[in-house]
Structure 1
Amino acid sequence: MNKIFSALVLCAGIVASGSVAASISYPTPGTYNDVDYNFTATTTGAISAYFYFSEAAATSTISLLVNGVQLGATGLPNHGSSFGDSILFGNVTAGDNLVFKLNYAWEGVGAWFSDASMNVDSLNHIYSTSFAGEGIIPAGTLVGFEDLHNVLQGDYNDHVFVFSNVSTSVPEPSIFALLGLGLLGFSFSRRAK
């Protein structure tokens, strides 16, 4: 009976430590994620970050830029945080532009950003997906970072967070195709006149 109880306690400890969190990850590890994510504040109010998990050897923290300016706290060190730990960044206004910043001092890099154009290598270092909620972490937007320069080998699970009050938009390729056809048609109609 004691062995069964010990096994149950061990399983509960594993679940509480966040091992279960690894169930949400980048679906195609080893391939570059070329998706260009745009993050905005969903509503006017507070925005928080929740630590999900980390598989990185290097130490990092997370911070937030709102309309290009850092907002509030920096925190959730990946080697000192547990599943569900959170920080409150502060208040935002609906529609504000949000950029997540992984403060990371390894390989000569000071930070990786959720906006690829801000990265020293101009590559995308994140994967994002909607998050339905798990345990003490509410529903939100999950963002996983790849912390190495070589994102082509990435799994985007080195530093993973869930953010509340965040909307993600990803440009649809079909929209760009339609836009291109529309512009092409417009240029032909202007030439015909």
Structure 2
Amino acid sequence: MIKSMQRLTLAAAAALLSLAAHAVPDPYPNSGTQAPASSFVAPSSGQLRAYFTGLSGGFTNLLGVRINGVDGALGLDNHASAYGDSFLLGNVVAGDTLVFFIDVNAGTARYYSDPSLNADGVNHAWAAAYVGDAQVPAGINVAFEDLPGGGDFNYRDHSFVFQVTAVPEPAAWVLLLGGMAGLSAWRRRRD
């Protein structure tokens, strides 16, 4: 009886932990209404990484970013990516201008987070802060609308969280490796 109660308790705890581990970002709260435009600036220097958080659109979209006016690589296919999959968009320097975009159906259309770059003049992106979970770190959640003219304005067709992580300087690696070698030597002498 005690063992079955322990198993039940462990199963309940595991179920609760799995729920907490996957806290999807909140959806756009004003579906049907165009979202206000957002602009993005790299908050620090390092690697700009996007983490896939979901889709509900029928079109196939790839994510990209324009850093200081230069378009980068495309990735995170909204139909082939799983929640938490990540894609390195490139390296940025604090203060760089970031304009995210989706490439719809292999180049049929491209919609930017800056409405002035969109052929239809409509805002196709919505952004909000995200606290993070076990699979997606804290950052800014950006959700896109992939229909011309804004379509249904639900901003659920391709969403991701972006984050800039620092890249250690070579000198930091040398210090880290030197410290580990010193610790190893100290432990060998102690034994």
TM value normalised by structure 1: 0.71
- The answer for the alignment partner of 2:88 in structure 1 is 88
Alpha-carbon offset, residue 32 of structure 1: 1.6
Tell me the amino acid that sits aligned with residue 54 of structure 2: F
Aligned position for 1:26: 28
Identity in percent: 38
Give the deviation of 1:163 after TM superposition.
0.4
1:5-48: CA deviations, max 9, x gaps? xx98xx79x969x6x52x51101111121x12110101011110
Alignment-derived partner of residue 180 in structure 2: none
Alpha-carbon distance, 1:165 to partner: 2.5
Q: Secondary structure at the match of 2:91?
A: strand
How many residue pairs align between the two structures? 155
TM-superposed deviation, 1:135: 2.0
Q: Distance in 1 between matches of 2:154 and 2:26?
A: 11
Distance 1:82 1:164 in 2: 18
SS in 2 for 1:117: helix
- Across the aligned residues of Structure 1 and Structure 2, the Cα RMSD in angstroms comes to 2.7
Q: Give the structure with the larger strand fraction.
A: 1
Q: Which residue identity does 2:37 align to in structure 1?
A: D
Contact 2:68–2:96 under 8 Å retained in 1: yes
Q: 1:31, 1:152 within 8 Å by CA — same for their partners in 2?
A: no
Paired with 1:155 and 1:92, the residues of 2 have a C-alpha distance of 30
**1:104-135 deviation per Cα after TM superposition (whole angstroms, max 9, x unaligned):** 028x8421100101111011011100111022
Superposition map of 1:159-174 within 5 A: 159-165=158-164
Amino acid paired to 2:98: L
1:105 and 1:111 in contact (8 A); partners too: no
Residue deviations 1:59-97 (CA, integer Å, cap 9, x gap): 0110111011023x3111011100000011221110000
Change (3 A) 1:112 1:122: same
Aligned to 1:115: 114
Point out where structure 2 has 5 or more consecutive residues left out of the alignment.
166-191
Report what 1:76 is aligned to. Answer: 76
Runs of 4+ in 1 over 3 A off after TM superposition: none
| d(CA) in 1 for partners of 2:65, 2:91 | 11
Tell which structure's C-alpha radius of gyration is larger: 2
